[in-house]
Amino acid sequence: MDKATPKRTLFRRATGSRELRRQPLFTGLSWLVLLLLYAPIAVLIVFSFNDNRSVVVWTEASLRWYETAIGNENVRKAAWISIQVALTATGVSTVIATMAALATTRGGDFRGKSAAIALINQPLMIPEIVTAIATLSFFSILRKLTGISGIGWLMLAHTVFCIPFAFMPIRARLADMSDTFELAAADLYAAPWQAFRHVTLPLLMPGILSGAMLAFVVSLDDVIITLLIAGPGETTLPLYILGQIRRGVTPEVNAVSTILILLTVAMVALTFALQRKRK
Amino acid sequence: MIDARDVTKRFGEGASAVTALERVSLHVPEGSFFTLLGPSGCGKTTLLRLIAGFELPSEGEIALDGEVIGHLPPNKRPVNTVFQNYALFPHMSVARNIGFGLEMLNRPKAEISATVEEMLDLVQLGAFAARRVDQLSGGQQQRVALARALAPRPKVLLLDEPLSALDLKLRKGMQGELKRLQAETGITFVFVTHDQGEALAMSDQIAVMSAGAIQQVGTPEEIYTTPQSRFVADFIGDTNIVPAELLGYEGDKARIRFAGGQAVLANAASATLAPGAVHVAIRPETITVCDAADEAALLHGTVLDSSYFGAGSQMRIRLRGGTEVQAQVAQPSPTGCEVGLIPDTSMLQVLVD
Ligand SMILES: Nc1ncnc2c1ncn2[C@@H]1O[C@H](COP(=O)(O)OP(=O)(O)OP(=O)(O)O)[C@@H](O)[C@H]1O
Ligand SMILES: [Mg+2]
């Protein structure tokens, strides 16, 4: 008997995954979580293909709501604004985040380094509505002082809140990366910028791609800050959807939402593909 | 070639400051295989990093060919490094790794590819040019790292324990290969190790370091046969360190007496010690064992045991003062026997503590 005990633990370990699956709650719970997460999205996508005004009664599959949505000039304009803002915010915030990550991991020990890291990450902890209101009043002052208006302000706001999202994965990757590669490059006559261009940057690329992806998705999805900052004619896709559902959910809104999901998924897929190619 | 003058390196400031090197002066002759030998934490890597330019000296200066380079960044120094973990660029092929230095120096493409070919042949990796570096074995990565550091033909090659990651057999092979590369290229090698066997086998000159200071510089033979300090004698290996009384100096010799023996002349590095208690190094193979009553015996003790090692036997003897010594003899005396010891006085070395 006492001989059998260790054997049984060994056996348990080896077949751990099967044992887990056999637990009565495990399978049920997993399905429940998956259902709660994805059923609403599935329903939304399915009814975007419904040939009917209703979003609860299914009649027949059709692309008519996509035709309506794409034919709708407001949707096209909103999509274009979203993409412009997201691309600008992604580009600028990724560059800034990369520089910040380099400074905090490769800049040696400077006074206030941990404070700098905390300050960069802090916006993640502040409620977005607070940031939104603060940005709104700050930008109103600036707008009045400078007399400048336009979509630039929205891009600036997005850039700012994207920085911490881009910063996290880039800094994590740099902190993991030994600086011996950079020393080796310098030892082999690379000037600092050459070492960065030929060694640090390529090795850091997976982190930069993850950071850029996060920034893009966060910017594309943002509602609260955008709602307060966006001027007339600066309606992004989420704002357009929000405006539409005030008048009830229509299949057209479903179609636009599906397009937004598609954009996000495409971005994530692209990042994965790029990272796999590098490997 | 390389001259370090009174180089001090401190890390940190104030109370938490660590002095890694304390007024180190060193001359590395051109074209030599020069080894820095010492226990962990004695400052070998720090000295190498100062020569490479990864650190700047806190005090003192470092000159290469008479030109002070101590404050130039690494990319401005004609010095290349083989890193302990190789630090090969993982996103580049073997060939691009080897050509990287020349690429950064803006050499023409044709010259780069010719040199890369030559280097691949030199380290016998001709078939691997297009491989990615993570598809190589440890020994092969080692050789790529060597080729990469040699390709720009530096004036000095720095090697920080390059063999420590290899298994014993591969390490022996690489020792020979490194010697061959050094001889073939004529480049000055500064080699770091904490393995005294490796240092003795490979070097033209060895600098033995301890606690941030250089203890002794010399050829392997000098270091082995005439260690000047107790630390060096201890670190280099199997020598006996025996207490004695220093009576005074006569010319460049020291007059000493072991407990219960008569006064003899021994070698001394310098006449700096005050008369009194000192330690003397006696190599095991220079001891003759005789009868306890023999007039010529300088030391007396009891045989603890002996073991046969092929060319003779190794005896362990406890001296009357309690110190244990080893002697290599053809015919061992039986265990428990009282014996006298006659060391070859021309090989006795008075040690500085
Ligand atoms: N960047 C640093 N900051 C603080 N102390 C350091 C630093 N680098 C080295 N030291 C200290 O300096 C001393 C010498 O270190 P060094 O790395 O030169 O030793 P080493 O002889 O190469 O040892 P090992 O054989 O273990 O590699 C050690 O006490 C070490 O802790
Ligand atoms: Mg070291």
Residue B45 in contact with ligand 1 by CB distance below 6 A = yes
Q: What is the DSSP string of B93-162?
A: BHHHHHHHHHHHTT--HHHHHHHHHHHHHHTT-GGGTTSBGGGS-HHHHHHHHHHHHHTT--SEEEEEST
pLDDT tens digits, A40-62: 889 888 888 888 877 778 888 88
- The Cα angle at residue B85 between residues B83 and B90, in degrees rounded to 5: 100
Cβ of B75 within 8 Å of Cβ of A186? The answer is yes
Question: What is the CB-side half-sphere exposure of residue B87 using CA atoms within 13 A?
Answer: 25
Residue B186 backbone class (left: φ over 0; alpha: ψ -120 to 50; beta: rest): left
CA distance B314 to A266: 76
Residue B49 in contact with ligand 1 by CB distance below 6 A = no
The pLDDT assigned to A271 comes to 84
Query: Does B140 have pLDDT greater than 60?
Result: yes
Query: Does A11 have pLDDT greater than 60?
Result: no
CATH class of A65-278: mainly alpha
CA distance B32 to B27: 11
DSSP-based three-state secondary structure for B346 = helix
Which residue carries 């990450």 as its tokens? A121
At A17, the pLDDT band (50, 70, 90 cuts) reads: low
Cβ of B152 within 8 Å of Cβ of A188? The answer is yes
Best of A177, A188, A198, A208 to disrupt the B interface (most B CBs within 10 Å) is: A188
Nearest partner of B351 among B294, B248, B282, B300, judged by Cα = B282
Q: Which of B74, B90, B91 sits opposite A186 (nearest CB)?
A: B74
Q: What is the DSSP string of chain A?
A: -TTHHHHHHHHHHHTHHHHHHHSHHHHHHHHHHHHHHHHHHHHHHHHHTBSSS-SSS---B-SHHHHHHHH-HHHHHHHHHHHHHHHHHHHHHHHHHHHHHHHHHHS-S-TTHHHHHHHHHGGGTS-HHHHHHHHHHHHHHHHHHH---STHHHHHHHHHHHHHHHHHHHHHHHHHS-THHHHHHHHTT--HHHHIIIIIHHHHHHHHHHHHHHHHHHHHH--HHHHHH--TT---HHHHHHHHHTT---HHHHHHHHHHHHHHHHHHHHHHHHHHHH-
The pLDDT assigned to A16 comes to 53
Calculated CA dihedral for residues A41, A42, A44, A48, nearest 10 degrees: 140
Residue B43 in contact with ligand 1 by CB distance below 6 A = yes
The pLDDT assigned to A278 comes to 65
CA distance A171 to A108: 14
Close Cβ partners of B48 (under 8 Å, ≥ 6 residues apart): B36, B81, B158, B160, B190, B192
The closest-lying atom of ligand 1 relative to the alpha carbon of residue B192 is: 22
The pLDDT assigned to B134 comes to 87
Tokens of A20: 């887990």
The pLDDT assigned to A201 comes to 94
Nearest partner of B25 among B222, B298, B212, B304, judged by Cα = B212
Closest Cα to atom 20 of ligand 1: B41
Which chain B positions have a beta carbon within 8 Å of A203's beta carbon?
Answer: 90-91
Which residue carries 């920085």 as its tokens? A163
The pLDDT assigned to A3 comes to 42
Query: Does A15 have pLDDT greater than 60?
Result: no
pLDDT tens digits, B205-257: 999 999 999 999 999 998 988 888 889 988 887 889 999 989 888 888 888 98
Query: Does A14 have pLDDT greater than 90?
Result: no
Query: Does A94 have pLDDT greater than 90?
Result: yes
| Mean pLDDT, residues B30-50 | 92
Where is B224: in which H helix or E strand? helix B220-225
Q: Which of A184, A191, A278 sits opposite B87 (nearest CB)?
A: A184
Nearest partner of A168 among A82, A88, A87, A104, judged by Cα = A104
Cβ of A188 within 8 Å of Cβ of B90? The answer is no
Ligand in closest contact with the CA of B21: 1
Query: Does A5 have pLDDT greater than 80?
Result: no
pLDDT tens digits, A173-192: 999 988 899 999 999 999 99
Tokens of A254: 């479903």
Lowest mean pLDDT among A22-26, A102-106, A128-132, A237-241: A22-26
The pLDDT assigned to B115 comes to 94
Query: Does B181 have pLDDT greater than 80?
Result: yes
Where is B233: in which H helix or E strand? helix B230-236
- Flag whether the ipTM exceeds 0.90: no
With CA atoms as reference, the chain B residue closest to A179 would be B87
Q: How many CB atoms lie within 10 A of CB A166?
A: 31
Distances (CA, A) of B51 to B2, B5, B56, B63, B143: 9, 12, 9, 9, 22
Chain A, chain B: beta-carbon pairs less than 8 Å apart: 62
The pLDDT assigned to A83 comes to 92
Portions of chain A given CATH number 1.10.3720.10: 65-278
Residue B11 in contact with ligand 1 by CB distance below 6 A = yes
Which residue carries 């998956």 as its tokens? A34
Which chain A positions have a beta carbon within 8 Å of B54's beta carbon?
Answer: 183, 186-187
DSSP-based three-state secondary structure for B256 = strand
> Which one has a higher pLDDT value, A15 or B339?
B339
Closest Cα to atom 6 of ligand 1: B11
Q: Model's pTM, two decimal places?
A: 0.80
pLDDT tens digits, B274-329: 888 899 999 888 888 888 888 888 898 999 988 888 888 889 999 988 889 999 88
